[in-house]
Amino acid sequence: MSEIYPAPEADHDTGDEAEEVDLVTAVNYALHQEMEREESVRMIGYDIGPIGGVFRATQGLLEEYGEERVIDTPLAENGILGTAVGMAMAGERIVPEIQFMGFSYPAFGQFMYAMAKMYDRTGGDIELPMTLRMAYGGGVKALEYHQESTETYYAHTPGVRVVCPSTPYQAKGLLAASIRDDDPVVFLEPKRIYRGGSQAVPTEEYTLPLDEARLVREGEDVTVLTWGAMVRHAVAASDEVDADVEVVDMRSLAPLDVETVLESVKKTGRCVVLHEARRSLGLGAELSALVNEYALDRLKAPVKRATGYDVHFPGHDIEDDYLPDAERAQYAIEAVMNYEF
């Protein structure tokens, strides 16, 4: 496996009460917190009960809140999501879990026809306060359909928010905000960094904005737009290049924080998009189009993308060759820095 860079020591003010946790533990803490806070919050999914989820993200929830609120299901994603939509329509604040993003495709009809469309098709009479959690992305040497990074399918669909954390602190705050939000949310958890180092996270509850990008590192020469597990590669690459790099963690993949993106690129004049999804029609293409439409006159070089390749996610023996890393991010940064019109 290629190198996994540890979580940053801090990307926030933790206050007096904080605990060192990794990202999957931060997810677990957010779920505990929201179930304790709000009686209508319920979980549904395969193996989320006695086992505590395939990654143990729901560990302890069944014992604490009972089987009426932590509903273990058969392995049937279409049924999980369809049932969750019905429960949300009935007033529950439901949190379905799909074990791996590649397993979500059998439920895509429920996502399109019900989850994303219900508010619109009822003229706003029915809200769906639900948060669909999915582990996504590669880098863990798993089997076919366990490594997908097809966030563009979901971000392309109106009517839902798509959120992706990159640190334990972000995970806890963004998940709490997602569960409390009245819009349907797709919450993507980068499993490669589930246990990729710990970070001080406040023990008290808090939320983070769902529609704002995060400035990870300020710079003057080039902007790197990225999210999820790729944020750490972007930061590592920034330390290796002869340029002052600004790294923006998108966090919200839908809606995009257009203001932050354009403000950064207009300042630096250069832009690299780093994501592990396939290149063609990936979210990087939309970000590149956005920059070209509204900041073309500020660009000192064409937008450069560092992405996965236009193939199905490969077997574990060559997945390191498929996934972008700090070296490919560094190459992209140097390419835009050295570009001459």
In eight-state DSSP terms, residue 168 is: H
Task: Tell the burial category of 311 from Cβ atoms under 10 Å away from its Cβ (0-12, 13-18, 19+).
Answer: exposed
pLDDT at 265 over 90: yes
pLDDT grade for 16, boundaries at 50, 70 and 90: low
Stretch 213-238: mean pLDDT: 97
Q: What is the pLDDT of residues 218-228, one digit of tens each?
A: 999 999 999 99
Tell me, what's the pLDDT at 143? 85
Q: What is the pLDDT of residues 280-298, one digit of tens each?
A: 999 999 999 999 999 999 9
Contact 181, 129 (CB under 8 A): yes
Point out the catalytic residue in the list 12, 146, 233, 275. Answer: 146
Tell me, what's the pLDDT at 4? 61
Detail the DSSP E strand segments found in 130-278. Answer: 131-136, 161-163, 185-190, 199-202, 214-217, 222-226, 245-249, 252-254, 271-278
Q: What is the pLDDT of residues 97-154, one digit of tens each?
A: 999 999 999 999 999 999 999 999 999 999 999 999 999 999 888 888 888 999 999 9
The radius of gyration of the chain's CA atoms, rounded to the nearest angstrom, is 20
Beta bridge partners of 161: 185
CB under 8 Å to 273, separation ≥6 — which residues? 224, 225, 226, 283, 284, 287, 288, 303, 304, 305, 306, 307
Q: Which of 225, 198, 329 is nearest to 286 (CA)?
A: 225
**Could you tell me the domains of the chain?**
18-202 (3.40.50.970), 214-338 (3.40.50.920)
- The CA-to-CA distance between both ends of the chain, in Å, stands at 38
Q: How far is it, in rounded angstroms, from Cα 282 to Cα 284? A: 5
Q: Which of 172, 114, 333 is nearest to 237 (CA)?
A: 333
Residue 146 annotated in active site:
yes
pLDDT at 8 over 90: no
- For the sheet with 271-278, list strands across it: 214-217, 245-249, 222-226, 271-278, 304-308
Q: What is the pLDDT of residues 47-105, one digit of tens each?
A: 999 999 999 999 999 999 999 999 999 999 999 999 999 999 999 999 999 999 999 99
If you average pLDDT over every residue of the chain, what do you get?
95
* Residue 271 backbone class (left: φ over 0; alpha: ψ -120 to 50; beta: rest): beta
Tell me, what's the pLDDT at 1? 44
Tell me, what's the pLDDT at 228? 97
pLDDT at 10 over 70: no
What's the Cα-to-Cα distance from 105 to each of 111, 154, 287, rounded to whole Å? 9, 11, 25
Tell me, what's the pLDDT at 145? 87
* Residue 339, helix vs strand vs coil: coil
pLDDT grade for 3, boundaries at 50, 70 and 90: low
